[in-house]
């Protein structure tokens, strides 16, 4: 019996290769993770809602993901990514607000957008009138939405982002002109969604990540959705609730997984439930209602 056959096809061989598997395959990965954890401990102040840049390949996958969800060409999504990354006014505003915030000792000053590049590109591509986000927190994602809405408004497609949160101090990164495109709703998000009385183009769950609460948000906002609404969840790496909701409404579902650059955290991503169709909400919207129907997004 050859050594290769012994190692691959016998129980004793399996035991012999265990130290090699641990030392040469698993341990190097753990070392890389540990080095990143150590660097993060001293270089970053964040202890939740981690922010990071994406690896270049992962960034391309995000562009492809948003292209499919929005119905817009990949090249257009890449253009919107670059538009956000080159927005010096937004970056300066976020840095200024972060430095002035009482939260500055546990949040990083540099705005790192990560998958929020995709949020921005989705809004720029589809031109929504109403975005509804649960879980504003510091307001980084909300500011990204607002920046996209400002550009849309300049092009003749106005919109607003509504954000729910239970913390009165939420959204401290927001200042004019970005704050002017936001409406903060304080209180329990499920109760706030039940009272929301506008048709919603894009909904994103990013609040209490308990599966039952996430589902409660989807059910609460369902009457305000129309046939072309896009429903997203920042919790889809953890639960299947958005997939279940998509199946309930006969919608397509896709999930994007973050691959952070120079960061140890690898447990975030975003799910999307959507009807594939034409690539914009303008010039008209579908009639609100909980029952699924044919897509009604139209070219502007």
Q: Is the pLDDT of residue 292 over 50?
A: no
d(CA 161, CA 145): 7
Q: Is the pLDDT of residue 69 over 90?
A: yes
| Mean pLDDT computed over every residue of the chain | 91
- Global confidence as pTM: 0.89
Q: Is the pLDDT of residue 295 over 60?
A: no
Q: Which pLDDT does position 283 carry in this prediction?
A: 52
Q: E strands within 135-274?
A: 160-165, 182-186, 200-205, 225-233, 252-257, 269-274
Q: Which pLDDT does position 6 carry in this prediction?
A: 84
What is the DSSP secondary-structure string of 105-171? GSS-SS---TTHHHHHHHHHHH--SEEEEE--TTSHHHHHHHHHHHHHHHTT---EEEEEES-TT--
Q: Is the pLDDT of residue 300 over 50?
A: no
Distances (CA, A) of 243 to 211, 212, 220, 228, 292: 12, 14, 16, 17, 15
Q: Is the pLDDT of residue 8 over 90?
A: no
> What residues are paired with 133 via a beta bridge?
163, 204
Q: Which pLDDT does position 80 carry in this prediction?
A: 98
Question: Using an 8 Å Cβ cutoff, are 245 and 273 in contact?
Answer: yes
Q: Which pLDDT does position 297 carry in this prediction?
A: 39
Look at 251 and 283; give whichever has higher pLDDT: 251
Highest mean pLDDT among 8-22, 148-162, 278-292: 148-162
Tell me: cis bond preceding 177? Omega within 30 of 0 counts. Answer: yes
Question: Using an 8 Å Cβ cutoff, are 43 and 105 in contact?
Answer: no
Residue range 163-186: mean pLDDT, rounded: 96
Residue range 33-53: mean pLDDT, rounded: 91
Tokens standing for 255? Answer: 């999930």
d(CA 241, CA 215): 6
């Amino acid at each position: 019996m050859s050594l290769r056959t012994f190692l691959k096809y016998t129980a004793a061989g399996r035991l012999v290769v265990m130290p090699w598997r641990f030392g040469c395959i698993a341990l190097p990965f753990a070392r890389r993770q540990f080095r990143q954890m150590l660097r993060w401990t001293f270089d970053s102040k964040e202890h939740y809602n981690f922010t990071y840049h994406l690896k270049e390949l992962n960034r391309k996958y995000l562009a492809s993901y948003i292209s499919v969800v929005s119905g817009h060409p990949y090249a257009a999504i890449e253009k919107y990514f670059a538009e956000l990354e080159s927005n010096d006014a937004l970056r300066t505003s976020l840095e200024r607000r972060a430095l002035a915030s009482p939260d500055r000792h546990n949040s990083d000053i540099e705005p790192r957008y990560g998958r929020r590049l995709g949020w921005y590109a989705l809004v720029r591509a589809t031109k929504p009138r109403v975005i509804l986000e649960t879980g504003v927190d510091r307001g980084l994602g909300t500011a990204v939405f607002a920046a996209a809405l400002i550009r849309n408004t300049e092009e003749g497609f106005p919109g607003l982002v509504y954000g729910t949160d239970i913390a009165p101090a939420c959204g401290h990164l927001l200042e004019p002109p970005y704050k002017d495109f936001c409406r903060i709703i304080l209180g329990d998000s499920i109760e706030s969604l039940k009272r929301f009385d506008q048709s919603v183009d894009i909904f994103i769950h990013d609040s209490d990540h308990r599966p039952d609460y996430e589902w409660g948000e989807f059910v609460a906002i369902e009457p305000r959705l129309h046939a072309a609404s896009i429903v997203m969840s920042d919790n889809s790496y953890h639960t299947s609730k958005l997939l279940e909701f998509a199946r309930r409404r006969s919608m397509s579902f896709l999930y994007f997984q973050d691959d952070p650059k120079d960061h140890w955290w690898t447990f975030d991503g975003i799910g999307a439930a959507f009807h594939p169709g034409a690539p914009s909400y303008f010039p008209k919207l579908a009639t609100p209602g909980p029952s699924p129907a044919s897509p009604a997004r139209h070219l502007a």
